[in-house]
Amino acid sequence: MIDLPTVWAFILAFAVFTYVVLDGFDLGVGIVFPLLGTDENRARAMNSVAPVWDGNETWLILGGGGLFAAFPLAYAVLMPALYAPMIAMILALIFRGVAFEYRWRDPAHRSLWDRGFHLGSLAATCAQGIVLGTIVQGIEVEGRSYSGGWWDWMSPFSVMCGLALTAGYGLLGTTWLVLKSTGDLRERAYVVARFAAVAVLGFIGIVSLWMPFLSPEIAARWFTFPQIVFVLPVPTLTAGLAALLAWGLMTRRDAVPFPASIGLFGLCYAGLGIGLYPYIVPRAISIQEAAAPDASLQFMLIGAVILLPMILAYTGYSYWVFRGKVDPDAGYH
């Protein structure tokens, strides 16, 4: 008999990671938007993500909807604890989402919507980082509900996570632009990507050193024998990918930095997972405790097994249709 809650924890983890990578690069394009120079560069940067952004954001809905469906207790406890950053994220995503259409519809207010696109992307990213930090550091739970205050999410660690994710999405966004653009836009993307890469590696170091101090359980997982043998590949591979990223950025191999950045995100994500398993609300509610009844998980699993591969296939197809360097004249506007 398969353990349905664990299966669903992995499916959700996959959905969230897919979201982080995919929306990460289009939010990242928004984060670095003011640094791209000319209006033509900005238009090309936006066109490089316009056909795919709402598909990317759908993974966020799957993450939220999936948590609601598979782990309703965790959803019910986490969302009130994350009230302010979640609302801020939603509102920020509204601003940057509509900018894709509005900037073309209203040249007179284009700078307003460009600013909305930038600030919305930035605020949504910070909010997501804060959400992550708050979950990692733990929240107060009593019975089946959140029992803390509505400012509890605010802490040095969560704010630092907000900054770290901003650097991370910035790296994904600029390396995406490196991959998709030519000429002046590509040059600028390379410059910004180098700064972002340095910042990201710095943040990876800080978070790695900070996390063990948040709880002895996390420390034990990383620093005691024999666990250390199993987790050691994570930092080792991270160092390898960091080197690959640096090489790609220095020698201008357009196709290297973006996958290398995704790899870095994957390893950090795996590192987080190692620190938090088997909890879904760290050190308060486990995956098993939060899981919906098997009848719910089974019903959804049938759909997920059939549909997720199809979704990945046609998502891949729509990326393939828009493959290659972005055409300056693309768009239907």
Partner 1 sequence: MIEALDAVTLARVQFGFTIMFHIIFPAFSIGLASYLLVLETLWLRTGKAVYLNLFRFWMKIFAVAFGMGVVSGIAMSYQFGTNWSVFSDKAGPIIGPLMAYEVLTAFFMEAGFLGVMLFGMGRVSKSLHVVATGIVAAGTLVSAFWILAVNSWMHTPAGFSINDAGQFVPENWVAIVFNPSFPFRLVHMVLAAYLTTALVVGAVGAFHLLRERTNAEARRMFSMAMWMVAVVAPLQIVAGDLHGLNTLAHQPVKVMAMEGHYESYPKGAPLFLFGVPNEANQRLDHSIGIPRMASLILHHDPDHPVKGLDSVPDENQPPVAAVFFSFRIMVGIGLLIALLGLSGLVLRRRRRLFESPAFLRAAVAMGPSGFVAIVAGWVTTEVGRQPYTVYGLLLTGDSASPIDAPAVAASLTSFVVVYFVVFGFGIWYLLRMMRSGPVATEPPTGSQRKNPRPSPPTQPPGLGHGHD
Q: Is 40 in the site for partner 1 (CB under 8 A)?
A: no
**Distance in angstroms (rounded) separating the CA atoms of residues 256 and 224:** 35
Question: Nearest approach, Cβ of 258 to partner 1 (angstroms)?
Answer: 19
Q: Is 50 in the site for partner 1 (CB under 8 A)?
A: yes
**Distance in angstroms (rounded) separating the CA atoms of residues 222 and 212:** 8
Nearest to 135 by CA among 125, 143, 144, 146: 146
Q: Between 206 and 330, name the residue whose CB sits nearer to partner 1.
A: 330
Binding string to partner 1 for residues 294 to 313, with x set by CB under 8 A, is what? -xx--xx--xx--xx--x--
Task: Select the residue interacting with partner 1 from 55, 212, 240, 259 (CB under 8 A).
Answer: 55
Q: In the range 124-163, which residues lie near partner 1 by CB under 8 A?
A: 144-147, 150
**Distance in angstroms (rounded) separating the CA atoms of residues 208 and 220:** 14
As given in the structure block, the two tokens for residue 83 are 């009230």
Task: Select the residue interacting with partner 1 from 65, 156, 183, 205 (CB under 8 A).
Answer: 65
Nearest to 129 by CA among 72, 207, 209: 207
Is 170 within 8 Å of 146 (Cβ atoms)?
no
Q: Between 177 and 245, name the residue whose CB sits nearer to partner 1.
A: 177
Question: Nearest approach, Cβ of 42 to partner 1 (angstroms)?
Answer: 18
Q: Is 293 in the site for partner 1 (CB under 8 A)?
A: yes
Q: In the range 82-111, which residues lie near partner 1 by CB under 8 A?
A: 82-84, 86-87, 90-91, 93-95, 97-98, 100-102, 105-106, 109
**Distance in angstroms (rounded) separating the CA atoms of residues 188 and 101:** 25
Q: Between 62 and 245, name the residue whose CB sits nearer to partner 1.
A: 62
**Exposed (0-12), middle (13-18) or buried (19+): which is 64, by Cβ within 10 Å?**
middle
Question: Nearest approach, Cβ of 39 to partner 1 (angstroms)?
Answer: 20
Question: Helix, strand or coil for residue 101?
Answer: helix
Q: Is 185 in the site for partner 1 (CB under 8 A)?
A: no
**Distance in angstroms (rounded) separating the CA atoms of residues 18 and 59:** 7
Task: Select the residue interacting with partner 1 from 14, 68, 195, 269 (CB under 8 A).
Answer: 68
Question: Nearest approach, Cβ of 213 to partner 1 (angstroms)?
Answer: 29
